[in-house]
Structure 1
Amino acid sequence: MSLLFSNATRFSTWRELWLNLAIAEKELGLPIPDQAIAEMRDNLKLNEEQMKAAAEEEKKRRHDVMAHVHVFGTVCPTAAPFVHLGATSCYVTDNADLIFLRRGLDILLPKLALVIQRLSTFAEKYKSLPTLGFTHMQPAQLTTVGKRATLWIQELLWDLRNITRAREDLGFRGVKGTTGTQASFLQLFDGDHDKVEALDERVTQLFDFPYAMPVTGQTYSRKVDIDVLSPLASFAASATKMATDIRLLCHLKEIEEPFEKDQIGSSAMAYKRNPMRSERVCSLARWLGNILHNAHETAGVQWMERTLDDSANRRLTIPEAFLTADVLLTLLQNISEGLVVYPAIIARRIAGELPFMATENIIMAMVRAGGDRQICHEKIRVLSHQAASVVKEQGGENDLIDRVRKDEYFAPIHAKLDSLLDPRSFTGRAEQQVDSFLQKWVEPALQPYREGFKNAKQADLAV
């Protein structure tokens, strides 16, 4: 991703744009020598000397595109008269940006798919392990560790869909001229409108875009940037949700993110095992989500055919959005590949809450055994409050079931209490939901990326 948004890639892409423009213009009848095309093709990459020359030229001319037109012409003398022929600066800057947007999404999509695959493996492994559910961050009905992971996966699947849509929707600015009217190209082709349209289509085809935008000003509409950055910002929300859940689970000591053998959690508190990866995800995701506001504001203030107040902003916003999303995916991959589950802690927490949750089952069992529902309800209510007092006021363990065992009223179901308290009977269809979700939704979505998984390496955060 860093290479994609480097100056070397940007300026070599400009040269490729000039080359394909010349190729299309020659095909449509302009007298551009074969030697000119050959020179341009042979000099698409800039060496260090050319980069320095372009930087010096830009200092003098105060114009980045013209600096590179000049330097390209010095290494392609035959092509020099035809470089940038009929084009405006946005022919190279905007079309290059669209190329980078598409390539950037092409980098992110397989990484996102890999995170989903890693989490799917985790969900499958722990699909039947009961765990305490939380609503309002208060103990709630049981779920399973794997089922909870599917909540993260589902959001990431939506991100995969949204980013794919943004990628497939991308068009090319194409060959539109200084204010989008194609006037310069109409002049080049002596008023032949068909050739101007053919030029636009041919250059778009050479870069393998599905279509050229039918109308533009000097730039492509900056709403396109919103369309691309929106799914990235949405992904940031998914990353925040997942990482926050993991941070809370680390606090509960039920699940931990990877923690290396020699890793130090605190300079003072040697015992600490801080969830720094998940914290970093939340930090960077907040940044990525807020980047979108720049794209919104920039799109709204493009006066008439364009202004230049978009340029410096976009040179920060677009690369940083993609670089941030890329790092987030590396972090999420690393986390999902090394999550550690502590079943004993989970079981202990369930044991502390399950007696209260089992009261309805106890009442139903007593009714089936011939008891009166209202009498049973009152007895359970009294015993529950006594047990709660032990937990909250004395700091003791939940002894509700012991109280039920000692109460002769509940003698008809004493033998059934263990089965009534089996955590697996409280997780509903969680395990089946995981199986169905992975089979019907995850597998089809990941199918296009399966081949790439074979060579995927574990994420290394040391680099």
Structure 2
Amino acid sequence: MSNLSAQPISPLDGRYQSQVKDLGNHLSEAGLNRARLEVEIEWLLWLASRNLLGSGSEISTKEAFALRAIAGAEFGDTSIAKLAELEAVTRHDVKAVEYFIREQLKDMQRQDLSELVHFACTSEDINNLAYAITVKSAINEVWLPKANVLVEKLTKLALSHAGVPMLSRTHGQPATPTTMGKEIAVFVSRLNRQLKRISQQEYLGKFSGATGTFAAHIAAAPDVEWLEESQGFVESLGLSWNPLTTQIESHDWQAELYGTMAHFNRILHNLATDFWTYISLNYFKQIPVAGATGSSTMPHKVNPIRFENAEANLEISNAILDSLSATLVTSRLQRDLTDSSAQRNIGVGFGHSLLALDNLDRGLDELALNEAVLLGDLLENWEVLGEAIQTAIRADVARGESDISDPYALLKELTRGKKVGEEELLVFVNSLAVSQETKERLLVLRPERYVGLAEELTKRIRS
């Protein structure tokens, strides 16, 4: 057997790498280490600039710039390799980051700052802030922009088809007509609610030592207002301070975020299956992509693979996100390590969701609405006007303008389980003992006009 051990085993790092690569800047091991470096360096600078330990170790603007560059412009393949080399010795990822910074300080001839590195910190002080930083940046810089682009595309599609009538299919059966735009607008409204929640997500961070008590801090420098310093430091990183924790930040914000993302994914899954169904009904024509093959044996086929692939990726994403939401909120006593392994899969959950967004974005570009089929379908189902007729009769009865008993039963007898054409309905309406105004209104009613306020409702997605 040939040796393929160096090949990626995840499709996100192989077949689909080009679609999700931007997440690697945030949710990869390298991205996590860069954030760890950022937290460690900012804490060093915080301690020194505020002289919290009375060391008098000043740091010049130039030196501060050089230190921040370690986790910024200078962070790259060389840094990644060096961190891996250190971790191979320490067998501890955060300790490797600490030693890496100590070596940088030695090169800068600032060994006097060495004991400020990782001062009074447990590794989880660094990790929880690093994860919050990377998840927040991944959401705001990669996932949300992609999600917003898709929802905007759906918004434009809804508005452009706001007035295009379509036969509804409640329970898969012909039902009161709607418009294609209004049905897409329902998804836009649902998705926007979840995007709003995600965009307003709070990212919490703790910085309080081995069991969340600031015990080591007080032992080393009892006169420092450590609660204020901790809050100020966490908030300086763009995070919200969590003062009450065990050794770990409780991860409730992560469970909230991943739960909302999973909800967004499920709405998208519903959208994908609906569009797949519309395609199968020929409501949407698929635009063939030059050179593409639909079936290896049936040359005529154009398959809705974008929507099918989206379904699969959304399901995989939710399997990860749901698992994270359930796992991360539980930690035995003051600390166990289940969250460590679990959080390394955040990028996998995000990646499959991002891939699904790409699937749907491309899929929508390959569709064209087939208005002739939509109209033909409506004209094959005049019986859907039964609702309108029986409701109008009931209104006349309520006003004392008709004495027809049980209008619903009357229309049920005429239409239930039957195909009723235009002529039959016209004859039926003409025979009704209703007001002339009602009769005239019903005689001009057609399936494609029986869409209520669908177009007006669709336009509300811009309000």
Q: TM-score range by the shorter chain?
A: 0.7 to 0.9
**Paired residue for 1:165?**
200
Aligned CA distance change for structure 1 residues 419 and 116 (closer, same or farther; 3 Å): farther
**Between structures 1 and 2, the one with greater helix share:** 1
SS at match of 2:121: coil
In structure 1, runs of 5+ residues without a counterpart are: 389-397, 441-463
CA shift for structure 1 position 364: 6.8
Offset of 1:69 from its aligned partner? Answer: 1.8
Q: Does 1:401 align with 2:408?
A: no
CA displacement at 1:267 relative to structure 2: 0.9
Residues of 2 paired with 1:297 and 1:381: CA distance? 49
Match in the other structure for 1:93: 127
SS in 1 for 2:169: strand
Aligned partners of 1:149, 1:252: CA distance in 2, in Å? 16
Q: Residue in 2 aligned with 1:198?
A: 228
CA 350–61 in structure 1, closer or farther in 2 if over 3 Å, else same: same
Match of 1:438 in 2: 461
SS of the residue aligned with 1:180? Answer: coil
Number of residues of Structure 1 aligned to a counterpart in Structure 2? 419
Alpha carbons of 1:26 and 1:405: their partners in 2 closer, same or farther (altered >3 Å)?
Answer: closer
Match of 1:177 in 2: 209
- Say if 2:371 is the partner of 1:343: yes
* Aligned partner of residue 142 in structure 1, secondary structure: strand
After superposition, residues 417-428 of structure 1 pair within 5 angstroms as 420-428=444-452
Distance, in Å, in 1 between the alignment partners of 2:364 and 2:175 is 25
Secondary structure in 1 matching 2:178? strand
Deviation at 1:352, TM superposition (A): 1.0
Residue of structure 1 in register with 2:356 after alignment: 328
The answer to whether structure 1 residue 71 and structure 2 residue 94 are counterparts is no
SS class of match (2:204): coil
Could you say which residue in structure 2 is the equivalent of 1:207? 237
1:136 is aligned to 2:160: no
- Deviation of 1:384 after TM superposition, in Å, equals 5.6
* Contact 2:132–2:203 (8 Å) recurs in 1: yes
Aligned-pair CA distance for 1:221: 0.2
Shift of 1:240: 0.7
After superposition, the Cα gap between the structure-2 partners of 1:372 and 1:206, relative to the gap in structure 1 and judged at 3 Å, is closer
Q: What is the root-mean-square deviation of aligned Cα atoms in Å? A: 3.4
- Of stretches 302-311 and 107-116 in structure 1, the one that deviates more from structure 2 is 107-116
Cα distance in 2 between the residues matched to 1:91 and 1:68: 13
Give the aligned partner of residue 15 of structure 1.
37
Paired residues of 1:265 and 1:272 also in contact (CA < 8 A):
yes
| Contact 2:310/2:357 (<8 A) preserved | no
Is contact 1:222-1:295 (8 Å) kept?
Answer: no
C-alpha distance in 1 between matches for 2:180 and 2:444: 21
Note the C-alpha offset of 1:330.
2.4
Whether contact under 8 Å (2:166, 2:178) holds in the other structure is yes
> 1:325-379 CA deviation, whole Å, 9 max, x = no partner?
22222233333444311011111111111245358649979x99x9996899999
Preserved CA contact (<8 Å) 1:127 1:431 = yes
2:168–2:176 contact (8 Å) kept in structure 1: yes
Deviation for aligned residue 1:259: 4.2
Match for residue 102 of structure 1? 136
Report what 1:148 is aligned to: 183
Which residue of structure 1 aligns with residue 218 of structure 2?
A: 186
Aligned to 1:34: 59
Q: Structure 1 377/183 Cα, relative in aligned 2: closer, same or farther at 3 Å?
A: closer
In structure 2, what is the equivalent of residue 451 of structure 1? Answer: none
> Taking structure 1 as reference, are residues 73 and 256 closer, same or farther at Cα in structure 2, changes over 3 Å only?
farther
Write the distance in 1 (CA, Å) between the matches of 2:224 and 2:406: 90
- CA drift at 1:10: 1.9
Alpha-carbon contact 1:384-1:400 (below 8 Å) kept: no
Quote the residue 1:60 is aligned against: 89
Query: Judging changes above 3 Å, is the alpha-carbon distance between structure 1 residues 26 and 254 closer, same or farther for their aligned structure 2 residues?
Result: same
Instruction: Give the direction of change, closer, same or farther, for the CA distance of 1:40–1:123 in structure 2 (3 Å limit).
Output: same
Aligned-pair CA distance for 1:59: 2.0
Residue 260 of structure 1, CA deviation: 1.8
TM-score (norm 1): 0.80
What pairs up with 1:292-311 in 2 under 5 angstroms? Answer: 292-311=321-340
Normalising by structure 2, we get a TM-score of 0.80
Does the CA-based 8 Å contact 2:178-2:454 persist in structure 1? yes
Retained in 1: the 8 A contact 2:158–2:181?
yes
